Structure 1
Amino acid sequence: MLSARSLFQEILDHDESFRLFCSIAASGEAQGGWENGRIAALVPEQERALAPKIARHGADEDKHGRIFNALLRRRGLDPVPVPADTDYTMLLERGGIGLAHDKLRRDEPLTVGDVVTYLAHSRVTEQRASEQMALLARHFAGHPDIGRAVRMISQDEDNHLAYCHEELLRLAAAGHGRAIRHTLRVCALAEIRVHRDVSLAVMAHMGRALGWSGGRSALLRAGIHAVYVYERLGGWRRMVRLSMPQRRDALGGPATAAEAAV
């Protein structure tokens, strides 16, 4: 039976597919760490109170990258180059979503509008990350090799999502509601396309590594397209809703150590 659990178990059990999975994940987390670090350094004066939380977000992303690399080392594996068609972060930026890296490389303060763009982009992508890690946690929280890492990363992603909700609601109350709603919708519709394309690319690479049959690959592609149709018809709306989270000030403290998870 083809299920999320059986699919990931197959990827986990095979060295080449596991190398690719961890390499893609580590690269994306490291990129997110760099982006958040630069944004924290460039936050405008009127939003300086937000800088420590953005920095904490970046520290968490860096930690996740180290965790995935540590999982590889435990298996005696080295990272592999990330195929360009699986680079979620790069493809989102290329589509004009979030803050451009050229802007982040300049030592010029951001605007409050840039902060809105950053938080809206993060709210959408952290929804995806939170859901994906919750799925892994549901099936592999007790796994002897990856269980602790999955639990820690899943909790962090939930904290990131809660922080985005809280800060966007604060900015909406300060008069930025229209810009937030518009930016969230644009980000969500772009993200579901990129997620579909990256999912298809990752499954193609995994299929070659694992020797999947043409029929199995076609079934997985059909499933990915079906998810995209659902999201395009209305599922994307879950990514743009805002509600005050139960976890208030979720990024108000220091990041936890990566060593605790591996």
Structure 2
Amino acid sequence: MLSSRTLFDEIYRNDEAYRLFCSIAADGEDQGGWENERIQALTGDPVLAPKIGRHGADERKHGRIFTQLLHRRGLEKVDVPPKADYCMLLERQGIGLSHERLTSDVPLTDREIITYLAHSRVTEQRASEQMRQLVRAYGGNPELAKAMRMISADEDNHLAYCHEELLRLTAMGHGPYIRHALEHTARGEIRTHRDVGLAVLRAMGRILRWPLWQRALLTAGVQALYAYDLTVGRRRMIRLRMPAKRNALGR
């Protein structure tokens, strides 16, 4: 039976596939860590800046965890294929703040802070869902279970923080721009998630020598999720609600 658990188990059991999987995850987390570090440095809000720093530190920690998982198998990271580089593909669509902007020394404006938070709110929604999927897939794996649960809990905290901060800024009169930023980010993220998913499937299919029927079925699944997200699922990525866990990154 073809299920997410059997697919992830197949990836785990193959060194080359596992190496690519962990490399993509580690690079994405490291990139997120760097971005948050730069955003913290350019943020003058004494309450928000430490939370952004905590977010960045968590992402760096996640990058180290995925790298350590590779080292335990005697493996090193590989370069991430450009078509599977989620962060860079988002930036090329104008989602979030650019590398060029983050390497400057000019403090961020209120709108740029909102752009950052909207980007984080949408991408952390995806990260939270994906980590829960990995917890289900690897929950019985003694090597991976603890790491997946730790990262999943952090991603849930990041998502809660984004909701709370965007709602705070909505109350300050920034609601129209926040709605615009969330809509723009969600549309771009949905396209990028599909494109990255297809690129990773192609790479894994070559490594694991999947038969044509399996590749076709998995490709159809990615396209079906894209269609769902574009029509109905997008709502979960743009709505704001006060989280049950308040001040998740201020502790």
**TM-score, with structure 2 as normaliser:** 0.99
Shift of 1:141: 2.4
Report the AA paired with residue 60 of structure 1: D
Within the candidate set 152, 167, 170, 1:169 is matched to: 167
Shift of 1:142: 3.2
Shift of 1:95: 0.4
Shift of 1:35: 0.1
Shift of 1:138: 2.1
**Mapping for residues 54-203 of structure 1, pairs under 5 Å:** 54-203=52-201
Residue aligning to 1:31: 31
- Structure 2, unmatched stretches of 5+, are none
**Partner-residue secondary structure (3-state), 1:108:** coil
Report the AA paired with residue 214 of structure 2: R
Cα deviation code 1:157-204 (max 9, x no counterpart): 000000000000000000000000010011001100000000000010
Question: Which stretches of structure 1, 4 residues or more, deviate above 2 A after TM superposition?
Answer: none
CA distance in 2, matches of 1:92, 1:34: 15
CA distance in 2, matches of 1:179, 1:122: 15
Residue aligning to 1:237: 235
Report the AA paired with residue 70 of structure 1: Q
CA distance in 2, matches of 1:141, 1:61: 21
Shift of 1:110: 0.5
CA distance in 2, matches of 1:21, 1:117: 29
- Structure 1, unmatched stretches of 5+, are 254-262
Cα deviation code 1:106-149 (max 9, x no counterpart): 01100011100000000000000000001111232231110110
CA distance in 2, matches of 1:108, 1:61: 24
CA distance in 1, matches of 2:165, 2:5: 34
CA distance in 1, matches of 2:246, 2:136: 24
**Partner-residue secondary structure (3-state), 1:91:** helix
Whether contact under 8 Å (2:55, 2:158) holds in the other structure is yes
Residue aligning to 2:15: 15
Report the AA paired with residue 15 of structure 2: D
Shift of 1:49: 1.5
CA distance in 1, matches of 2:22, 2:137: 17
Shift of 1:48: 2.7
CA distance in 2, matches of 1:242, 1:252: 19
Whether contact under 8 Å (2:5, 2:136) holds in the other structure is no
Report the AA paired with residue 93 of structure 2: G
Q: Identity percentage over the alignment?
A: 63
**Partner-residue secondary structure (3-state), 1:48:** coil
CA distance in 2, matches of 1:6, 1:88: 24
CA distance in 2, matches of 1:122, 1:233: 21
Report the AA paired with residue 186 of structure 1: H
**Partner-residue secondary structure (3-state), 1:242:** coil
Paired residue total: 251
CA distance in 2, matches of 1:16, 1:138: 22
**Mapping for residues 220-259 of structure 1, pairs under 5 Å:** 220-253=218-251
RMSD, aligned α-carbons: 0.7
Shift of 1:242: 0.4
Report the AA paired with residue 216 of structure 1: Q
